[in-house]
Amino acid sequence: MKFLICFSALSIVGSCATLSYKEKIQNIKDGISIEQPEKIVHYANTITSTELKQHLYQFASHEFQGRGLGTVGQKRAANYLKDYYISQDISSPLANSVYFQHIPKNVLGIDQDGSENVIAYIEGSEKPDEVIVVSAHLDHKGIDEEGNIFYGADDDGSGTVALLEMAQAFNLAKKDGLGPKRSILFLHLTAEEAGLQGSRYYVNNPVFPLEKTVSNLNIDMIGRVDRSHEDNPNYVYIIGADRLSKELHYISEEVNNTFYNLDLDYKYNDENDNNRYYFRSDHYNFASHNIPVIFYFNGEHEDYHQISDTPDKINYPLLEKRTRLIFATAWQLANQETRLKLDD
Ligand SMILES: [Zn+2]
C-alpha cells in the first residue's frame, strides 16, 4: 500500500511537471504574432534573384582573388561592400562614412596590414539601442600556390549578397516610414576562414553593447543544395535556434510557416552531431556570450572549399527564397512588441 501511494504521488508530480513544460511552450507560441505580414511580403519581394546574382558575379569574380585574409582581393571586397552602402545611403554606426572596423595584424597573426569587418546599420525608430545583428563572412581562401582562385561563391558570397539585399529592403521600408523599431546591424565579418577571428574581435569590441544585442542571424552558405536534398531543394538547415531561446525557435518556425514553407531541417542541430557546425561559424562567438543565434546553412557539397565554388552553380531562386525568410525573421525580431527572451 505504502509503495503504491508513493508510486501514484510520483506519477502525479511527473505529469504536472510535463504539463507545465507543455504550457510554457504553448505560452511562448501563443505570444508570437507576426508583425505587419503584408508589409513583410511587400519588402521581402524587393529581394530578387536577379540582384542577388548581379552582386554575386561581382563578389565571387577574379577581381577579388578569392578574398584571402588581408590580401588586395579581400580589401577590394571590403571596399565593394562599403561603396554599396554609401550608394544606398545606408549609414555606419561607427562614424560618418567609416564602415571598417579595423583589426590589427598582430591580433590576426598575419603579415599584411591587418583586415577589417565591414559594418552598416539601419537605426531603429523606437528602440534604437537594441540591435539585431545579421552577419556573413566576407573573406575566403584566396589563391593557391598554382595561382588558382578560390571564388567562394557559396562560401560565403551567398550570405554576403543576402545581407546587401536585406539592407536595401529594410532601407526602402524606412524611406516609406516603416523602418524597423529596433536597429539592424549588417555585419560583414573578416577572418572567418582563419578561425572565426573577425566575429571574436567584434564581440570583444562591440559597436552596440552585447547586453543590448537581441539576436544574431548568421548566414554561411545558402546558395546551393547538398546531396541529401537533391530531390527536395526547398530546404535550409537551421542550427542553434532553440539552444538559448525557445521563443527564437518558434518565431523562426512561425515566420516560415506564414510566408515561405521551406523545409527547416534540424539534422545538424542535434547536439551529438559529429560535424559540430554550431561551433564552426561566426554565430558561435555571439552564442558564447549568451546571445540567441540562428545559423542558416545549406550543408556541404562537392565544391565546398574547392576552386570550383563558382557563381554559375548557385541556385538563385532558392537563394532568393532563403534570403526572404531571413529578412522576414529579422523584421519580426526588430518589430515585435517585447524583446526576444532568453530561456530561464
Ligand atoms: Zn563559410
Q: Which of 142, 135, 302 is nearest to 224 (CA)?
A: 302
Ligand 1 centroid – CA 259 distance (Å): 27
Ligand 1 centroid – CA 69 distance (Å): 13
Asked whether the beta carbons of 264 and 238 are under 8 A apart, the reply is yes
- Alpha-carbon span 91 to 96, nearest angstrom: 7
Ligand 1 centroid – CA 86 distance (Å): 26
- Tell me what pLDDT residue 4 has: 42
Ligand 1 centroid – CA 53 distance (Å): 18
Asked whether the beta carbons of 39 and 181 are under 8 A apart, the reply is no
Phi, psi of 45 (to 5 degrees): -70, -10
Cell of 322: 532563403
Degrees to nearest 5, angle at CA 104 with 98 and 108: 125
Q: Which of 170, 217, 213, 214 is nearest to 189 (CA)?
A: 217
- Whole-number CA gyration radius for the chain: 21
Ligand 1 centroid – CA 192 distance (Å): 7
Ligand 1 centroid – CA 155 distance (Å): 5
Environment class of residue 343 by beta-carbon count within 10 Å: exposed (0-12), middle (13-18) or buried (19+)?
A: middle
Sequence letter at residue 104: P
Ligand 1 centroid – CA 129 distance (Å): 29
Ligand 1 centroid – CA 36 distance (Å): 33
Sequence letter at residue 329: T
Q: How many Cβ atoms are within 10 Å of 87's Cβ, its own excluded?
A: 8
Ligand 1 centroid – CA 183 distance (Å): 25
Q: Which of 304, 55, 263 is nearest to 159 (CA)?
A: 55
- Alpha-carbon span 177 to 180, nearest angstrom: 9
Mean pLDDT by 10 residues, the chain (344 residues): 43 57 93 95 98 98 97 97 98 92 93 93 98 98 97 98 98 98 98 94 98 98 97 98 98 98 97 94 97 98 97 98 98 98 94
Ligand 1 centroid – CA 88 distance (Å): 26
> Per the omega criterion (within 30 degrees of 0), is the bond before 156 cis?
yes
- Alpha-carbon span 268 to 276, nearest angstrom: 8
Name 98's bridge partners: 95
3-state secondary structure 173-204: HHHCCCCCCEEEEEEEECCCCCCCHHHHHHHH
Task: Note residues around ion ligand 1 (Cβ under 5 angstroms).
Answer: 155-156, 220
Ligand 1 centroid – CA 181 distance (Å): 30
Ligand 1 centroid – CA 73 distance (Å): 17
Sequence letter at residue 204: N
Residue at grid coordinates 531561446: 245
Ligand 1 centroid – CA 24 distance (Å): 36
Ligand 1 centroid – CA 237 distance (Å): 14
- CB contact set of 259 (below 8 Å; sequence gap of 6+): 37, 40, 41, 44, 324, 325, 328
